[in-house]
Structure 1
Amino acid sequence: MKNYRSYQRIDPIYFSGEIFFPVGLLFAASIISYGLLYILGLGTAVFFNVCIAWCGYFYFYFYGKSKTKITIKFLIGVFLITLLLLFVDYGAYALVLYQKTGIFKELYFLVWLSILVGFPIVYYVHLYGAHYYAKRRLASVYFKTSLSVYHDRELLTHIDGIAFINSSKKYTSDIKIENDYCFYSDQELAVMDLSSKYYHLKKSVFSSVIHVPFDADQFEISWYSIVEDQYYKVNIPFPFHKLILEEEKYPLKESKSIRGEKSKRLFLHIYQNGGFKLYNEDIILLDYYTNPTVAIEDEIKQVKLIANQNCHHYYNNTERFFDLLKELKKSNTIEKRQELQDKLVVWNLKFSGLDQGHYIEIADAYFKNYKLEKDDAFLSALRYLPTEITFVYRGSYLFPWMTLHIDTLKLNECIDAVKTDDSEEISFLLHFKKGAEGLEFIIKADEAERHFDAWEIVIDERRKKEMDEELHEKREDQQKRALLKEAWDLVFAKKYKEAQQNCDALLALDPEYGFAYFLEARLLWYTKGFEACYSKRDYFFAKTKHEPAALAHIYNSFGCILDLELRYEESIPYFEKAIEINPKEPIYSCNLGEMYYKLKDAANALKEVKKAKKMGYESDILTEILANKGKIDLINH
């Protein structure tokens, strides 16, 4: 693969502030040269520039060197720096010449200025142009995808390389395997918190964005299976035509020609006997159950063995490591897990004891991830066995707060124990008696069932706390709404005493609940009259000022009270304030229009009721005002 080219990341071009340091030095030297030219003449200025070129280059050229012998290379460097300084100083020379003689050589000055300013511009234009061309070329040669590589953790594996190859144009992908996957011992796993434990147990050995050449026609992979003590190297045709490519949409600030194309995430699973499977969520691209081994020298094999051993903490000890190898070779759990990866079972899942609004996200033995709504999970379907189930609560946002990690091997054993040849489906029954605590997991086939306990729950405490707080607020809000509705039903039934009891209960539950104060104001009006209620208006305004909707209701309410007292002009500021606080509530505009109507202000009456009608409000008084074009019918009033 030495003659093949792979994707090379192109760093963005930045206009760095570091450029101002040398520019600043040149400008300072030019200022000093101007003074020397003006006072002492050309010879002194030239001598000054030669001196600073010598001293400056001497420092950089001989920095860190033990010898300071003057060389031809050094002298050439001094000469070139002097020329640069003198060229920059031409502006100072032209200025001095003009000041002393009045002569200004415009052509020379313009050429000098064009070179001085144009060279940096041309340089950066070249950089940006080359950067754009390079990115466009890469986008036309490679497409982007993500690759996740897995192998059974007990199948200790050293991957030498994975490559997607376009053999005709000699392009290859940019996959760099680190082989830093650590096999943690049972002792190490036992002392980890559950989140860390399952992160290490289920993490991929490689996961990254990669760049694959268009029209790749070969797939190559090589690895050493330590448990099997076998080396595999495979180069096979790659079915590029099966991939579905789509336009990369991000970043938005870049053009389509630079963003290029992408495909869905690829998954690669390495098995025993040289088998592997490459697929995405749509299609299996490559699937080999076995591949022939390749001979490698014992020295190379030993290097890979030691490299793998050094990745582990507990098994870095040679004796422990070889004991582990013996134990793994005797075990048949690798084969069992591999069989489960392709095993499909008709199953459904029912869970209870959690708040409404939950759905589940499944990760299965085939490494597929998908979500199921609660009702969909009830339906039986042919699926792979789950390895983890995450419970997600839909609130103000999604709360994936609890994950159930399942020992799939033991789950399969339990299924085999309860099902019969006549069993058509398996049911997983999850009963949460106290939230995440006290889970009862039952596996059922027909009438037979068995408790299953080979699982562990991991809870995201931060998300759980946020969810609990939101659920508490939701339940409290539902309770308040129920009390408020019941109180208004009692008000309409003129059972004011019972309604007041509900109002007191609301304020005890939440002293900041604005609509409870609106209820209290109405009850005060109904039971003690206009003056008792109107005299406490400042109290009610203060109690609801934090809740705009309730405050607007309060202002509207006092406007209505004044209306009933026939104090139409006094009511107008209250309705106007209600509209100011909540302009989207049409009844306030209609009430204001009614006051203008009663005050014989037809123009304003029509203006307000039209505004209310435009917002979708309908009422008898609104219809009357529109029909009368804002002019009140005094005979009927």
Structure 2
Amino acid sequence: MKNYLSYKKVDPVYFSSEIFFPVGILCAASFISYLLLYFIGLGFAVFFNAALAWCGYFYFYYYGRSRSGITFEFLIGFVLTAAFLLFTDYGVYTLVQYQETGIFNTLYFTIWALILFGTPIVYYIQYFGSNHYAKVKIANTYLKVYFSVYHDRELLTYIDSIAFINTSKDLISDIKVENNIPFYSDKELAEMETSSKYNHLQQSAFSGLIHIPFGADQFEISWYSIVEDQYYKVNVPFSIDKFKLEEEKYPLNEPKSIRGQKAKRTFLHLHQNGGFKLYNEDAVLLDFQSHKPTEISEEEKNKKLIAHQSSHKYYDDKKHFSDLIETLRKSNTIQERFELKEKLIVWNLEFSGLHKDHYLEINNTNFENYKIEKEAAVEFDLKPLPKKITFVYRGSYLFPWLKLHIDTLKLNQLIEKVLLDDFENRISFSLDFKDNDASDLVFTVIANGKKTLFTDWEIEIDQYRKKDMNDQQREKNEDTTKRTLLQEGWDFVFAKNYEDAQQKCDALKAIDSEYASAYFLEVRILWYTKGFETCYSKRDYYFAKTKHEPPVQALIYNSYGCILDLELRYEESLPYFEKAIEINPKEPIFVCNLGEMYYKLKDPAKALKEARKAKLMGYESSMLSEILANKGVIDLINH
């Protein structure tokens, strides 16, 4: 391939705090030089700096070396170091001269300061500026694309190169295929865990972020198909305009000029006979059914074959690998999978035995991946067969906890049999999960009312996500039960059936002894059944029991305020309403109740103030209207 320029990562630059170590040494040396100049004289200051340069550079130069003889190179370094220290001390010398003579050489001092302080500033400006310029240039030269390459594992494909090329500017993408994916034997696959096995079987030949040059006008790919014993090298026209570009949003702390542009994830699938398909969710970019093979020497073929073979464990043995190639050439499964990729069938799917809050992610034989709700899945649609179905539970976050891996070749063979009797040419898939582990599945294929059991599938369960899901479901069910019991308890209270209300309250506390709302209900039951004194005497107990849930504790404080109000103990009720407001200042009824107490205590200013506050909070009641209408002055005759 011609020598093209490809994307090179620009590493971020940082202002290192390590610079403060040499700066600190220079400052200390300058301070000592100042004392020597001021109290002893120039000669001692020069001698000090020379000695410091000798010792410091000696340590730096000979650190880690076995020999410490004085060399010419060392002497040059020493002289330069001493000169730098003396130059740095010029400012100190100028200061001492000014103190002793009153003469200050502004020009020389300015030149010294500009050199000493300006040089590192200019260096860092250039350092950061050149880095920023390089990033901007990269962003304007290449676009970002997440790129995945797939091929049938049984083709035993060795990919030489894949490239998007801008021929006018000699630029190329940065795709590096490692060709290190092992081909496991059936025995090795059988010994693997389900997740590991399917991670391998569904593994891409390449997947990662690539950078394609703007203005790319060619797509080039070359690979060796060992099973076909054919080498393909393809170079076809390509237009970058086929990509729908969008601004890269991340990272947020970088400007748009650096983030650049990106396209949606793009896929490349290699087929038999030199065919391939390049596409993303927006469009098919390139699609070729076949290409003529390219002649290469037997020596080159053997190199690629050996390189492919060496990536395996069982098939690293030459005879095993040779037998595998021969077996695959006699098999027709590669062609069957290829034909199945484009095959469309009218089918639907329904499942039972799992929680209702699930949706499905389906990977089909055409390498498409889409999400579908449970209700929508029962609708018949013309589409490729499912290859993997992931069940995702909606909880506090999404739990993709269960994967159903389907042998689509066996499923297609079964469908072809049952469709012989199906005049509607429609298939239904019924998934019935029988046990709590969701591993006891009955997979039924239904056509024209006839049910056929299908067993060529495997289930993969993420136990950690399953546990989190079960915990959330249990908490959700428990919360629903508590809410139901609480509502039933209040219904009994309103019906004055206090005995049954207390039973509901006890049931609530048995489920969750920390459930604050149960104690709020119990306060009301206790008041109605045992009277004021008994209820009032247990107020500290209920305050303590609801401390962990402030909104409920505020309700209990308000409730005791209301009890005292009914006992005509208005003055005593004030602290309870005030405490309720302190705990939950957003509840207007507490504010209105406080205003009512001031109203009854004949304090119109405070009554009116609280009533207006409750009104502004959106509260409405007959008492509130009365306080506002009477401007806080109570009519004792009507009360």
| Equivalent residue pairs, number | 637
User: Residue in 1 aligned with 2:519?
Assistant: 517
User: Residue in 2 aligned with 1:636?
Assistant: 638
User: Residue in 2 aligned with 1:247?
Assistant: 247
User: Residue in 1 aligned with 2:474?
Assistant: 472
Matched residue type, 1:429: S
Query: TM-score by structure 2 length?
Result: 0.93
Q: Which runs of 5+ in 2 are unaligned?
A: none
- Mapped to 2, the partners of 1:24 and 1:495 lie a distance apart of 83
User: Residue in 1 aligned with 2:434?
Assistant: 433
Partner of 1:597: helix, strand, or coil? helix
CA 227–18 in structure 1, closer or farther in 2 if over 3 Å, else same: farther
User: Residue in 2 aligned with 1:335?
Assistant: 335
Q: Which runs of 5+ in 1 are unaligned?
A: none
User: Residue in 2 aligned with 1:158?
Assistant: 158
- Mapped to 2, the partners of 1:234 and 1:55 lie a distance apart of 65
- Mapped to 1, the partners of 2:305 and 2:47 lie a distance apart of 68
Mapping 1:253-268, distance limit 5 Å: 253-268=253-268
- Mapped to 2, the partners of 1:87 and 1:559 lie a distance apart of 82
Partner of 2:145: helix, strand, or coil? strand
Deviates further, 433-442 or 627-636: 627-636
CA 399–609 in structure 1, closer or farther in 2 if over 3 Å, else same: farther
- Mapped to 1, the partners of 2:237 and 2:205 lie a distance apart of 24
Q: How far apart are 1:58 and its partner, in Å? A: 6.8
Aligned with 2:489 (options 487, 490, 512): 487
CA 41–549 in structure 1, closer or farther in 2 if over 3 Å, else same: closer
1:572-616 superposed Cα distances (whole Å, 9 cap, x missing partner):
211221222222323222222222222233333333333334444
Matched residue type, 1:597: Y
Deviates further, 590-599 or 512-521: 590-599
- Mapped to 2, the partners of 1:37 and 1:2 lie a distance apart of 66
1:402-435 superposed Cα distances (whole Å, 9 cap, x missing partner):
1111112112122222223623321111111224
Aligned with 1:564 (options 555, 563, 566): 566
**1:418–1:449 contact (8 Å) kept in structure 2:** no
Partner of 2:404: helix, strand, or coil? strand
- Mapped to 2, the partners of 1:514 and 1:261 lie a distance apart of 53
User: Residue in 1 aligned with 2:425?
Assistant: 424
CA 323–100 in structure 1, closer or farther in 2 if over 3 Å, else same: farther
Matched residue type, 1:325: I
User: Residue in 2 aligned with 1:113?
Assistant: 113
Deviates further, 461-470 or 46-55: 46-55
Mapping 1:52-451, distance limit 5 Å: 77-98=77-98, 101-420=101-420, 422-435=423-436, 436-451=438-453
- Mapped to 1, the partners of 2:71 and 2:13 lie a distance apart of 36
CA 97–164 in structure 1, closer or farther in 2 if over 3 Å, else same: same
Matched residue type, 1:427: S
Partner of 1:144: helix, strand, or coil? strand
Q: How far apart are 1:190 and its partner, in Å? A: 2.1
Matched residue type, 1:270: L
**1:393–1:400 contact (8 Å) kept in structure 2:** yes
Partner of 1:184: helix, strand, or coil? coil
1:119-146 superposed Cα distances (whole Å, 9 cap, x missing partner):
0000010011111111111111111111
Partner of 2:548: helix, strand, or coil? coil
Q: How far apart are 1:286 and its partner, in Å? A: 0.4
Q: How far apart are 1:63 and its partner, in Å? A: 7.5
Is residue 462 of structure 2 the alignment partner of residue 460 of structure 1?
Answer: yes
- Mapped to 2, the partners of 1:352 and 1:265 lie a distance apart of 34
CA 611–39 in structure 1, closer or farther in 2 if over 3 Å, else same: closer
**2:360–2:390 contact (8 Å) kept in structure 1:** yes
Q: How far apart are 1:230 and its partner, in Å? A: 1.5
- Mapped to 1, the partners of 2:68 and 2:232 lie a distance apart of 57
CA 222–49 in structure 1, closer or farther in 2 if over 3 Å, else same: farther
CA 32–225 in structure 1, closer or farther in 2 if over 3 Å, else same: farther
CA 227–494 in structure 1, closer or farther in 2 if over 3 Å, else same: same
Partner of 2:154: helix, strand, or coil? coil
Deviates further, 530-539 or 325-334: 325-334
**2:439–2:459 contact (8 Å) kept in structure 1:** no
Q: How far apart are 1:218 and its partner, in Å? A: 0.6
Q: How far apart are 1:313 and its partner, in Å? A: 2.4
- Mapped to 1, the partners of 2:17 and 2:435 lie a distance apart of 61
CA 49–557 in structure 1, closer or farther in 2 if over 3 Å, else same: closer
CA 346–176 in structure 1, closer or farther in 2 if over 3 Å, else same: same
1:10-41 superposed Cα distances (whole Å, 9 cap, x missing partner):
11111123334444555555566556666776
User: Residue in 2 aligned with 1:580?
Assistant: 582
Query: TM-score by structure 1 length?
Result: 0.93
Q: How far apart are 1:276 and its partner, in Å? A: 0.9
CA 47–490 in structure 1, closer or farther in 2 if over 3 Å, else same: closer
- Mapped to 1, the partners of 2:608 and 2:398 lie a distance apart of 47
User: Residue in 1 aligned with 2:625?
Assistant: 623
- Mapped to 1, the partners of 2:612 and 2:203 lie a distance apart of 64
Matched residue type, 2:593: N
Identity between Structure 1 and Structure 2 (%) = 65
